[in-house]
Amino acid sequence: MRILLLALRRAASSLPTLLILLIGLFLLLQLAPGDTVDALVAQIGGGDPKMIEELRRFYGLDVSVAVQLGRYVWRLLQLDLGFSAIYGKPVSAVILERLPATLLLMGSSLSFAFAAGMALGVFSARRVNKWPDTIISTLGLVFYATPSFWFGLMGIVIFAVHLGWLPAGGLEEIGAGYTGLRRILDIAWHLVLPTLTLALIFLATYLRIMRASMLEVLTLDFVRTARAKGLSPGRVVSRHVLRNALLPMVTLIGLQAGTMLGGSVVVESVFALPGLGRLAYEAVVQRDLNTLLGIVFVSALLVIAVNFIVDILYARLDPRIVT
Amino acid sequence: MESLKRIGKSPTAVIGLILLILVIGMALSAPYLFPRDPLSLAGRPLQWPFANSRFWLGTDTTGRDIAAQIFHGARVSLLIGLVATALAITIGIVVGAVAGYYGGVVDDVLMRVTEAFQTLPNFLLLLVLVAVFGTDIKTVTIAIGLVSWPASARLTRAEFLSLRSREFVQACRTLGMRDIQIIFREILPNALPPVIVYASVIMAVAILLESSLAFLSLSDPNVPSWGNLIGTGRSVLRTQWYVSAIPGGAILLTVLAVSLVGQGLNDALNPRLKSR
């Protein structure tokens, strides 16, 4: 219970930061050349000045920046993200439509990176400085240096174009009309390549941290005691070392939640996934500043939520953390 | 000196240095080997590598020489990486040093700002900055520097927190030195090694960030950037995959070189890790 309260307090303390962030971004976006109406008019191929003026009034762009900011913050406090002129519906509706794909992608990538990074890290640490360790560490370095979008493209060339094993893009087979389990399998099928692509860099980091953390914990006194008790090496690792070595890994999840969201912008563009990241890209290209701000807001909330979960996980893993 | 020797002994660092020298060599030799504008029309489009001896890496969708773009791209990537990293490190050091040295309210405010930057995914912030200020190469470089500083600020702050109450700092205070002098001439040199090592991480990420932006065609289209070339090759990915594959390999090698050298530096400067 105390843990929950603590985590809640920490999450709440990040809300003022969030507000500062959004005000800063709102002011920053005022510097952008052209507003939503300009973009809209350009899209429909010009319009007469009177209509443009009317549009400005409709979108609340005819008043001073200070008033706009005031209105914006007020709406934000009511969790109203405004109206997207490009999509013709509320920003919150646009974002909610796109959120599931991104959450799915992030969740599966994170799980894969965490599990594989942990397994490889443990494997590597138990054979430290022997050839399996060298190979795994080198692979980790190469993965870390690979641009994710390029890995994705090459994955498409090999697995979709040449071998034909996996689909080249999209979230599901459109028009196939699958339902139930068949649809879930189809979506999972489409997410294999994007998940691997997004997970690659994180896998490399997790593997490195897990290896270092295992090596550190293995030198501690309680491990020697466990060995002296006559426990088998496998049991020492699974019962005594693993739990302690996992702490830095869990910290890393919180630290990298934002990076992962940023990475999904690129990965979703490569695989044409209808997610939040691609929406951000489209919003930049179409100058849909309301939507862009909304995405920033939701992303920051997501990062805060992930850190909240990490706090709780942390306390569960290490009972010493209570205050 | 001893550190240099230790770098020489680690195989990863040596490989990294060789790769890095190779990339720097490419960047320096580009104007001599490929004196023509790399973005100008050179020959028939979409010639495969080795098919024509004039274009040993082939030509892209609009008939530009891929080899020329790779060599000139090395200049762009290294330059963006270096400048953005220098900017990020400078901001990070100043913010971290001031926050760590003074503590109290100054620390609180500066750390809140740092937190705000860390809460926001840096690629998203980069998108916003590019959307506002345009895609000129200078703007992109500055924007990458602006989104990359928070980690180095935290690192510097942590070092300053542990150094600020040491005897030598107290001695400086008794001597009546000004704060600025103490921060930058006395404490900073002691706090610098981990930040310098971290610079290699920032540079690797900066190169990746630029290539991602360029891939999404949100970077400067008038510069021979590797990311731009990958983006161009995307339209012919199914058949002429080499247009995207070659520049990707170049990015991979460059980032690998930078991070290997960084790791070598880390091992050399951090004697506690010697045994690992």
Q: Are residues A152 and A41 in the same domain?
A: no
**Res. A102: pLDDT tops 80:** yes
d(CA A199, CA A196): 5
* Residue A4 in domain: no
Q: Are residues A81 and A129 in the same domain?
A: no
Per residue in A259-300, pLDDT (tens digit) is: 888 888 889 888 888 888 888 888 888 877 778 888 888 888
Q: Are residues A154 and A23 in the same domain?
A: no
Q: Are residues A148 and A242 in the same domain?
A: yes
Q: Are residues A165 and A40 in the same domain?
A: no
- Arithmetic mean of pLDDT, A125-129: 80
Q: Are residues A128 and A205 in the same domain?
A: yes
* Residue A200 in domain: yes
Domain end marker among A37, A72, A91: A91
- Mapping DSSP to helix (H, G, I), strand (E, B) and coil, where does residue B55 land? strand
Q: Are residues A225 and A140 in the same domain?
A: yes
Q: Which residues of A touch B124 (CB under 8 A)?
A: 261-262, 265, 280, 295-296, 299
User: What is the residue-level pLDDT of chain B in tens, covering all 276 positions?
Assistant: 566 666 666 777 888 889 899 989 888 887 887 777 777 776 777 677 776 666 677 777 777 777 888 888 888 889 999 999 999 999 999 999 999 888 888 888 888 888 888 888 888 888 888 888 888 888 899 999 999 998 899 889 988 888 888 888 888 888 888 888 888 888 888 888 888 888 888 999 999 999 998 888 888 888 888 888 888 888 777 778 888 888 888 899 999 999 888 888 877 776 555 444
Tally the domains of chain A. 2
Q: Which residues of A touch B115 (CB under 8 A)?
A: 14, 17
* Residue A323 in domain: no
Q: Which residues of B touch A21 (CB under 8 A)?
A: 116, 119-120
Return the CATH number at A254.
1.10.3720.10
* Residue A42 in domain: yes
Element housing B28 (H / E): helix B11-33
d(CA A254, CA A312): 11
Q: Are residues A22 and A50 in the same domain?
A: yes
- Mapping DSSP to helix (H, G, I), strand (E, B) and coil, where does residue B248 land? helix
Q: Which residues of A touch B129 (CB under 8 A)?
A: 28
Q: Are residues A252 and A216 in the same domain?
A: yes
Domain residues for the domain of A191 are: 96-317
* Residue A259 in domain: yes
For A123, A148, A314, the CA distances from A209, given in Å and listed in that order, are 13, 20, 16
Of B132, B227, B245, the CB nearest to A32: B132
Q: Which residues of A touch B251 (CB under 8 A)?
A: 145, 147, 150
Contact criterion met (CB below 8 Å) for A281 and B216: yes
* Residue A68 in domain: yes
Per residue in A150-180, pLDDT (tens digit) is: 898 888 888 887 787 777 777 777 776 777 7
Q: B52 - beta bridge partners?
A: B55
Q: Are residues A86 and A100 in the same domain?
A: no
ipTM, two decimals: 0.83
For A92, A112, A158, the CA distances from A273, given in Å and listed in that order, are 19, 19, 19
pLDDT of res. A323: 45
pLDDT of res. B227: 85
Query: Which domains can be identified in chain B, with CATH numbers?
Result: 2-30+75-274 (1.10.3720.10)
Domain end marker among A36, A65, A91: A91
Q: Are residues A211 and A193 in the same domain?
A: yes
d(CA B210, CA B141): 8
Q: Is B131 on the interface with A (CB under 8 A)?
A: yes
* Residue A18 in domain: yes
The alpha carbon torsion through A136, A201, B265, A125 (nearest 10 deg) reads -30
Residue B160, min C-alpha distance to chain A (Å): 22
- Arithmetic mean of pLDDT, A309-315: 81
Closest-approach residue (CA) in chain B for A260? B121
Contact criterion met (CB below 8 Å) for B191 and B156: yes
Q: Which residue has the higher pLDDT, A41 or B259?
A: B259
Residue A103, min C-alpha distance to chain B (Å): 15
Of B124, B129, B252, the CB nearest to A265: B124
- Arithmetic mean of pLDDT, A65-92: 79
- Arithmetic mean of pLDDT, A18-42: 75
